[in-house]
Amino acid sequence: ETGVTQSPTHLIKTRGQQVTLRCSSQSGHNTVSWYQQALGQGPQFIFQYYREEENGRGNFPPRFSGLQFPNYSSELNVNALELDDSALYLCASSLGGGALNTEAFFGQGTRLTVV
């Protein structure tokens, strides 16, 4: 059973650029959630994908978008990067779409720095 893996682990981008972060979900899991964790804060929910469709979204602007693929891996895309987008981006996989995230397994995160 493989765990949740995220790539890259670290990334530096310039303000205004676009970035794509990737997540491979745990074997057998069909749901992926993305979170942003700013320094000194708890993770903040961005959105969730279930069976390739976005089925829940937090308070993030449309320049944050995502995809889920048939193998349930996922991408987080952020356009027009701003300095405040600098954060740790966490992916969590689970089974069951709208079910509680009781058994959500997190990846190690991608540290994004926007300069």
Partner 1 sequence: DQQVKQNSPSLSVQEGRISILNCDYTNSMFDYFLWYKKYPAEGPTFLISISSIKDKNEDGRFTVFLNKSAKHLSLHIVPSQPGDSAVYFCASPSSVSGGGADGLTFGKGTHLIIQP
Which residues in this chain contact partner 1 in the complex, by CB under 8 A?
Answer: 4, 33, 35, 40-48, 50, 55-56, 58, 90, 92, 94, 96-109
Angle at 51 between CA 47 and CA 57, to 5 degrees: 15
CB closer to partner 1 out of 14 and 59: 59
CB closer to partner 1 out of 16 and 28: 28
CB closer to partner 1 out of 19 and 107: 107
Q: Please spell the DSSP secondary structure of 51-98, one letter per residue.
A: TTEEEEE-S--TTEEEEE-TTS-EEEEE-S--GGG-EEEEEEEESSTT
Tell me how far, at minimum, the Cβ of 103 lies from partner 1, in Å: 7
